[in-house]
């Protein structure tokens, strides 16, 4: 038996012993007496009798344990030309100071704090300061518009919002403060205060009595030497809420707890990523996404690594060699990013010549996730970098790898197009719509047998019924991933598509239902369907098909432009919504359900079966013709 099979079997035969052993890597306040408590929580609960503090494990223990002068965070910002290395000692000082500011603003254990920030180190400091106080952070990605931010404010009711005056995108500065002000204006549950990081690229006005200056307030506490102890929390207390797209415009608040999260994440640094404490690890994502939470901030810091916080793009900041410069300059051993980043680099530098300008000799491994890794991109990356490329599959809900190649345990042979095998903790099955387990090689719903392992979501924020109905109801006894896939006879998984209305654009998870809600509100739109169509760079792009109201006599091009603008204003630029195709009719079932997945296959030129329930098959040809006319 290989080391992976041994590890998987040891988990399966005695999960309690497996997780208790790993839990020994965490510094608890009160030790867990056991790992799993089947009677607590929706499907059981992890380390329910233990107490701990995540900030202590990510920062304090490294300062006292010999890593005080090691870089904890390297901030590399080609977009501003800034570099900053922050040691664990400095990180602790910054976190304590911000925790003191939050305390002064009345933030205490259990209170929520929204963090709406660009990729600056203060975003990570803010997360850790909340963790230190036992407050629950909710990071909102900077590419979301005011209305999306307001929805999250109303759902989690933060006492305070930490933000910045601006973010910087290639060629333009994004003023964050007007977005924040608008969000607070339209939200029903207004935060009592905000803490604003002024950036020199575009400072903003502060509202007296509500807005506080990040630098001035933290400086006050650093000067005064204010101490803030780590607050003891239950392992099951929430560390954060991360909103992710559901099938409607109302996002799902994925909850992460403290104890199980630490246990699982720290373990993955060696087992999944084969990284030793002290090494430099880089996840090129954004703190607004789960990859940023888990692998820019928490896992590398829990493990005593140096993490790179990169404010830039794979191309254009300044060129397609930026990733190689960062790897070379900071001696990065492992990079984790989304395939779309590599497709962007490949498009600019097809031969990968820029990699030749840098010393990448210490670089060991590239990890890809967030969307399907197409074999072309993998082969290209292998050739240019000369290292193994590891695909792995997970979700916001899981927080860490569900299926991957456990390189730190045993590197398994790569099968292109497969993120490899189930990690210990996950019992993955492929089932048909009736919930029957399918034989190897057959396509079906990918589900995970309950309980989910430590680190996975225990529930949705204040929405236990939605948690049950969205994830646990359809296949009793299993967690529904909403991905469709195949498992081969060697246990290798192949993820093929989502089974819901979620699309994946440049590694960003978006709800087509959410976009439809926005478009349908346009006064000239009678009905619409948004689908994800194939795109060679971003994987998928949202495309809207609109039926206009009868009698509309304005130029259709005006309406198309207004719809595009509306989605950008209401959801944000991250939606990347630029395709609005006028149509006469939409293909539907006889019961009136729009056949979105058939439409997608028609547009992408894939094989499809005309659904037996279709009302009028001729509409599929019409849609294809409408699309061809639009695309020219």
Instruction: Point out which residues bind ligand COA (CB under 6 A).
Output: 118, 142-143, 167, 169, 174, 284-286, 289, 291, 313-315, 337-338, 340-341, 344, 370, 505-508, 538, 573-574, 576
Burial of 434 (0-12, 13-18, 19+ CB in 10 A): exposed
With beta carbons less than 8 A apart as the criterion, state whether 603 and 621 touch.
no
Q: Does 242 bind ligand AMP (CB under 6 A)?
A: no
Q: Token match 């930026």: residue?
A: 322
Provide, rounded to whole angstroms, the least separation between the CB of residue 340 and ligand AMP: 11
Toward ligand COA, which CB reaches closer, 171 or 439?
A: 171
Among residues 59, 100, 139, 290, the one that binds ligand AMP under rule CB under 6 A: 290
Burial of 224 (0-12, 13-18, 19+ CB in 10 A): exposed
Q: How far is CA 113 from the centre of its chain?
A: 18
- How many angstroms separate the CA atoms of 525 and 522, rounded? 5
Among residues 137, 221, 346, 372, the one that binds ligand AMP under rule CB under 6 A: 372
- In the beta sheet, which residues pair with residue 161? 114, 194
Among residues 37, 468, 498, 568, the one that binds ligand AMP under rule CB under 6 A: 498
Toward ligand AMP, which CB reaches closer, 212 or 342?
A: 342
DSSP labels, 463-522: -HHHHIIIIISSSTTEEEEEEEEEE-TTS-EEEEEESSSEEEETTEEEEHHHHHHHHHTS
Toward ligand AMP, which CB reaches closer, 327 or 369?
A: 369
| Whether the bond into 451 is cis, omega within 30 of 0 | yes
| Whether the bond into 571 is cis, omega within 30 of 0 | no
Q: Does 181 bind ligand AMP (CB under 6 A)?
A: no
Angle made by CA atoms 310, 229, 456, in degrees to the nearest 5: 55
Q: How far is CA 419 from the centre of its chain?
A: 17
Provide, rounded to whole angstroms, the least separation between the CB of residue 235 and ligand AMP: 24
Choose among 491, 497, 478: nearest CA to 431: 478
Q: Does 406 bind ligand AMP (CB under 6 A)?
A: no
Of ligand AMP, ligand COA, none, which one sits near residue 339, judging by CB under 5 to 8 A according to partner kind?
none
Among residues 148, 155, 371, 516, the one that binds ligand AMP under rule CB under 6 A: 371
Provide, rounded to whole angstroms, the least separation between the CB of residue 367 and ligand AMP: 10
Three-state DSSP class for 174? Answer: strand
Q: Residue 307 is inside which H or E element, if any?
A: strand 306-310
Of ligand COA, ligand AMP, none, which one sits near residue 573, judging by CB under 5 to 8 A according to partner kind?
ligand COA
Of ligand AMP, ligand COA, none, which one sits near residue 340, judging by CB under 5 to 8 A according to partner kind?
ligand COA
Of ligand AMP, ligand COA, none, which one sits near residue 374, judging by CB under 5 to 8 A according to partner kind?
none
Of ligand COA, ligand AMP, none, which one sits near residue 372, judging by CB under 5 to 8 A according to partner kind?
ligand AMP
Q: Does 393 bind ligand AMP (CB under 6 A)?
A: yes
Provide, rounded to whole angstroms, the least separation between the CB of residue 318 and ligand COA: 14
Angle made by CA atoms 412, 416, 418, in degrees to the nearest 5: 70
Q: Does 369 bind ligand AMP (CB under 6 A)?
A: yes
Of ligand COA, ligand AMP, none, which one sits near residue 446, judging by CB under 5 to 8 A according to partner kind?
none
Provide, rounded to whole angstroms, the least separation between the CB of residue 265 and ligand AMP: 15
Provide, rounded to whole angstroms, the least separation between the CB of residue 180 and ligand AMP: 24
- How many angstroms separate the CA atoms of 89 and 592, rounded? 61
Positions that interact with ligand AMP (CB under 6 A): 244, 290, 369-373, 391-393, 395-396, 419, 481, 483, 495, 498, 504, 509
């Amino acid at each position: 038996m290989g080391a992976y099979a041994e590890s998987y079997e040891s988990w399966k035969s005695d999960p309690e012993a497996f997780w208790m052993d790993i839990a020994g890597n965490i510094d608890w306040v009160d030790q867990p007496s056991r790992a799993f408590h089947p009677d607590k929580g929706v499907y059981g609960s992890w380390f329910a009798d233990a107490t701990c503090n995540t900030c202590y494990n990510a920062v304090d223990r490294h300062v006292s344990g010999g890593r005080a002068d090691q870089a904890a965070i390297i901030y590399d910002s080609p977009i501003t030309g800034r570099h900053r290395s922050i040691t664990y000692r400095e990180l602790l000082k910054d976190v304590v100071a911000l925790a003191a500011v939050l305390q002064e603003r009345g933030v205490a254990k259990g209170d929520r704090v929204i963090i709406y920030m660009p990729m600056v180190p203060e975003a990570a400091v803010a997360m850790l300061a909340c963790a230190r106080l036992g407050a629950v952070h909710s990071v909102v990605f900077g590419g979301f518009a005011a209305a999306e931010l307001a929805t999250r404010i109303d759902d989690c009711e933060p006492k305070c919002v930490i933000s910045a005056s601006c973010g910087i995108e290639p060629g333009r500065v994004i003023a964050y403060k007007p977005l924040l002000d608008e969000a607070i204006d339209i939200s029903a549950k207004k935060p009592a205060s905000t803490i604003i990081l002024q950036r020199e690229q575009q400072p903003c006005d502060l509202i007296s009595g509500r807005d506080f200056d990040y630098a001035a307030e933290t400086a006050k506490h650093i000067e005064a030497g204010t101490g803030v102890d780590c607050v003891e929390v239950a392992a099951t207390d929430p560390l954060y809420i991360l909103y992710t797209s559901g099938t409607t415009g109302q996002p799902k608040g994925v909850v992460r707890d403290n104890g199980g999260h630490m246990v699982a994440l720290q373990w993955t640094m060696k087992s999944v990523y084969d990284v030793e404490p002290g090494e430099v690890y880089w996840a090129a994502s954004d703190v607004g996404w789960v990859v940023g939470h888990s692998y820019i901030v928490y896992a590398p810091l829990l493990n005593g690594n140096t993490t790179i916080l990169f404010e830039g793009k794979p191309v254009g900041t300044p060129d397609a060699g930026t990733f190689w410069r960062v790897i070379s300059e900071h001696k990065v051993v492992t990079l984790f990013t989304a395939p779309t980043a590599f497709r962007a680099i490949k498009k600019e530098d097809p031969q990968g010549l820029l990699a030749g300008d840098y010393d990448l000799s210490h670089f060991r491994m590239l990890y890809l996730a967030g969307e399907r890794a197409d074999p072309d991109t993998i082969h290209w990356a292998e050739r240019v970098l000369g290292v193994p490329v590891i695909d792995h599959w997970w979700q916001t809900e899981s927080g860490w790898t569900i299926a991957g190649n456990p390189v730190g345990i045993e590197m398994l042979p790569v099968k292109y197009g497969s993120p490899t095998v189930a990690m210990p903790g996950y019992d993955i099955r492929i089932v048909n719509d009736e919930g029957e387990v399918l034989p190897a090689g057959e396509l079906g719903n990918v589900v995970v047998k309950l309980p989910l392992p430590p680190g996975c979501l225990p529930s949705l924020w204040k929405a236990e019924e939605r948690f049950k109905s969205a994830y646990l109801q359809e296949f009793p006894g299993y967690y529904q991933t909403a991905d469709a896939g195949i498992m081969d006879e060697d246990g290798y998984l192949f993820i093929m598509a989502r089974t819901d209305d979620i699309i994946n654009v440049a590694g960003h998870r978006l709800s087509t239902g959410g976009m439809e809600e926005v478009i349908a509100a346009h006064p000239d739109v009678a009905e619409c369907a948004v689908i994800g169509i194939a795109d060679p760079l971003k994987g998928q792009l949202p495309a809207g098909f609109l039926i206009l109201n009868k009698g509309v006599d304005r130029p259709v091009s005006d309406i198309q432009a207004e719809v595009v603008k509306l989605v950008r204003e209401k959801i944000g630029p991250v939606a990347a919504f630029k395709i609005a195709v006028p149509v006469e009719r939409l293909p539907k079932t006889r019961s009136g359900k729009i056949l979105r997945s058939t439409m997608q296959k028609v547009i992408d030129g894939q094989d499809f079966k005309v659904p037996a329930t279709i009302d009028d098959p001729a509409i599929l040809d019409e849609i294809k013709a409408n699309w061809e006319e639009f695309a020219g």
